[in-house]
Amino acid sequence: MPTPETSAPDVLVLGGGLSGLVTAWRAAQRGLRTAVADPAPGGGAARVAAGMLAAVTELHYGEETLLALNLASARRYPDFVAELEEASGRLTAHRACGALAVAFDADDRARLRDVHALQQRCGLEAEWLTGRECRRLEPMLAPSVRAGVRVDGDHQVDPRRLAAALLAACTRAGVVLHEAAAARLTVAGDRAAGAVLTDGREIRAGQTVLATGSWSGELDGVPPGVLPPVRPVKGQVLRLRVPPAYAPFLSRTVRATVRGTPVYLVPREDGELVVGATSEELGWDTTVTAGGVYELLRDARALVPGVTELPLAESGAGLRPVSPDNAPVLGPTALPGLHVATGHGRNGVLLTPVTGDVMAEVLTTGRLPEDARPFAPDRFPSTLQEHTR
Ligand code: GLY
């Protein structure tokens, strides 16, 4: 039998990754008694992610609606990290370094031209450069780099530090942490009423937020058709170290498609160089494979030959929670009292500030802010229909 907790929070957030923690922190700031359930809060995809804030350089055809939310979140980043660092007493390694997307062969160049044209149509700041101009900015680039697009507004943050800062800010704001996963949702009448955790405790809450990343598509006890349609997409990532004698190795994020495969290198102030990422539809598999590591190093070396000299510090794999339209799923579900903050796909780190603001608004007023309406769970008709059938 589950053991009920005596003092019920107003809000129970299931999942202590970036989306769950920022939701909890913002909710607590608005005076809601808030709890988070996660066996390892501050973990999740943030342990693996590179932390590019790449609204412009990661723009894809057909994702113009998502672009508006990405840009809104990018604009909030400087104030967000300043407030979070003050509230938590921790640094996030936010770096306003800009980014450079480059091309190798004629096909890559043609692809980059298309992306640049799309960026311009969307009114974004992105400057076309020759190969020589790219190497003047980043002398470690290979001589074979033919062209590039310079985007000074795409920055980066260290997701591990960001998660640690959010966790500290949550604790300081009075958020209660339960170090256990959700085993099943509690439903009372026609409302979500909290959850039973894997340690047997039952946490009752007025509102429950499902923010368990790739696992948000499955939770026992939820009526059919309510859960968001997210799936895991695996990403393998490497962490190299730039010895002080080699610095500055790269001064900004460098990315490319190398013979059709995307790769990026994200240089941190502290000498870490993140190389990512594969994109693999392999379900829940998080194995680091020889093939994945080989491809990342092969393409990183083609881009910046000097990477082969750097110590390899770490390899890892994580799961991006991806929705059918690659955009996040935010706000109230068809089950009263149950909200979701998931489906952030490639943009979880970038979307952290706006996710916190949107979810706090939903939890305090019951309404989705205007700019978040396109990301409501009911945009997936099959989800809604199944529930109301
Ligand atoms: N945004 C980078 C990635 O998902 O790999």
- Domain regions of the chain by residue span: 3-47+161-230+324-388, 99-152+232-322
Half-sphere exposure in the Cβ direction for 228 (13 Å, CA): 36
If one residue of 237, 239, 274, 320 were mutated to test the ligand 1 pocket, choosing by the most ligand atoms within 8 A of its CB, it would be 320
Q: What percent of the chain has pLDDT over 90?
A: 92
| CA 360 to ligand 1 centroid distance, Å | 26
Write down the pTM of the prediction: 0.95
| CA 180 to ligand 1 centroid distance, Å | 28
238 CB under 6 A from ligand 1?
Answer: no
CATH classification for the domain delimited by 99-152+232-322, as one of 3.10.20.30, 3.30.9.10, 1.10.1740.10, 3.30.40.10: 3.30.9.10
Give per-residue pLDDT as tens, 124-133: 999 999 999 9
277 CB under 6 A from ligand 1?
Answer: yes
Q: What is the pLDDT of residue 247?
A: 85
Q: Is the CA virtual torsion 289, 295, 102, 250 positive or negative?
A: positive
* CA-to-CA dists, residue 25 to 28, 34, 169, 174, 365, angstroms: 5, 8, 7, 9, 16
Radius of gyration for the chain, computed over Cα atoms and rounded to the nearest angstrom? 21
235 CB under 6 A from ligand 1?
Answer: yes
| CA 59 to ligand 1 centroid distance, Å | 12
User: Ligand 1: which atom is nearest the Cα of residue 58?
Assistant: 1
Residues whose CB is less than 8 angstroms from the CB of residue 245 and which lie 6 or more positions away in sequence, other chains included = none
Which residue's alpha carbon is at the smallest distance from atom 2 of ligand 1?
346
Which residue's alpha carbon is at the smallest distance from atom 1 of ligand 1?
346
Check pLDDT > 70 for residue 294: yes
255 CB under 6 A from ligand 1?
Answer: no
Give per-residue pLDDT as tens, 182-217: 999 999 999 999 999 999 999 999 999 999 999 999
User: Ligand 1: which atom is nearest the Cα of residue 276?
Assistant: 5
Which letter, b or e, does each residue of 113-139 get, where b requires 16 or more Cβ atoms within 10 Å of its Cβ? eebbebbeeeebebeebebeebbebbe
Q: Yes or no: say if 377 and 340 are a contact pair by the CB < 8 Å rule.
A: yes
Q: H helices of the chain, where?
A: 18-29, 64-88, 106-121, 131-137, 159-172, 290-303, 352-365, 381-388
The partner residues of 176 in beta bridges, in order of sequence, read 35
**Mean pLDDT on 131-158:** 97
Check pLDDT > 90 for residue 4: no
Tokens coding 113:
């031209």
C-beta neighbour count of 245 within 10 angstroms: 5
Q: Yes or no: say if 208 and 309 are a contact pair by the CB < 8 Å rule.
A: no
Check pLDDT > 90 for residue 165: yes
**Mean pLDDT on 73-87:** 98
Residues whose CB is less than 8 angstroms from the CB of residue 18 and which lie 6 or more positions away in sequence, other chains included = 44, 45, 46, 159, 162, 163, 166, 348, 349, 352, 355
The verdict on whether omega for the bond into residue 248 sits within 30 degrees of 0, i.e. cis, is yes
**Mean pLDDT on 113-141:** 97
Q: Pick the closest to residue 348 from 312, 368, 322, 370 (CA basis).
A: 322
- Cα separation, 206 vs 142, whole angstroms: 57
Rounded to 10 degrees, what is the CA torsion of 273, 271, 43, 296? 10
| CA 155 to ligand 1 centroid distance, Å | 13
Q: What is the pLDDT of residue 54?
A: 96
53 CB under 6 A from ligand 1?
Answer: no
Give per-residue pLDDT as tens, 354-383: 999 999 999 999 999 999 999 999 999 765
| CA 32 to ligand 1 centroid distance, Å | 33
Q: What is the pLDDT of residue 387?
A: 40
Q: Yes or no: say if 219 and 185 are a contact pair by the CB < 8 Å rule.
A: yes
276 CB under 6 A from ligand 1?
Answer: yes
Q: Yes or no: say if 339 and 332 are a contact pair by the CB < 8 Å rule.
A: yes
Class of domain 3-47+161-230+324-388: alpha beta
pLDDT band at 99 (very low <50, low <70, confident <90, very high): very high
Q: Pick the closest to residue 27 from 170, 235, 148 (CA basis).
A: 170
User: Ligand 1: which atom is nearest the Cα of residue 52?
Assistant: 1
